[in-house]
Structure formats: C-alpha cells, structure tokens
Amino acid sequence: MHWEIRGLEKLSFRERQAVVLKEAGRSLEDIAKRLHLSTSTVATLLARAKSKGYELVCIIPGAELGLGGDEQDEEDSEA
C-alpha cells in the first residue's frame, strides 16, 4: 500500500511543500516552523492548494486484499 498525491502539478512549489507535510500528518504549527512561515500563511497555502483540486489517493495492490496475486492468477488460468 502506498499514498499518492494527484494534482501536484497544478500547485506552486510552496503549496506542494505544505500539502506534502500536511498529508504526512504534520500540524499547521509544525509546517510553519519547518517552512519558516506564519501559520496563517500555511493556512492560505493549503486553502489555495485545496481550491486547485489536488487529491490524496491510497493505492492498495489486489494481492494485499486477497483479490489477486500469483496464486489467484494461477487458479484463474486453470479454470
């Protein structure tokens, strides 16, 4: 399983930084300290990014859900 942030190409460099840190679970205060910005600036960056339509997507391979993988593929080919 892994996470993917789609739509990053629409965001400015600073918006990307703020989004990646936010989606990694950081607080506004922590993001502000790390980027040397005020919390209100971080909030503005995140609001702009949200308005541009980025989305967080969880990618889960079928094998992790018991829906595929080597064993399942072999069974399907025998049938």
Q: Delineate the domains of the chain, giving CATH numbers in brackets.
A: 2-78 (1.10.10.10)
pTM score > 0.85 for this model? no
Place 74 in a pLDDT band, splitting at 50, 70 and 90. low
Cα separation of 56 and 3, whole Å?
Answer: 7
3-state secondary structure of 73: helix
| pLDDT over 70 at 61, yes or no | yes
Place 17 in a pLDDT band, splitting at 50, 70 and 90. very high
pLDDT in tens, 18-59: 999 999 999 999 999 999 999 999 999 999 999 999 999 999
Q: Which amino acid is at 55?
A: E
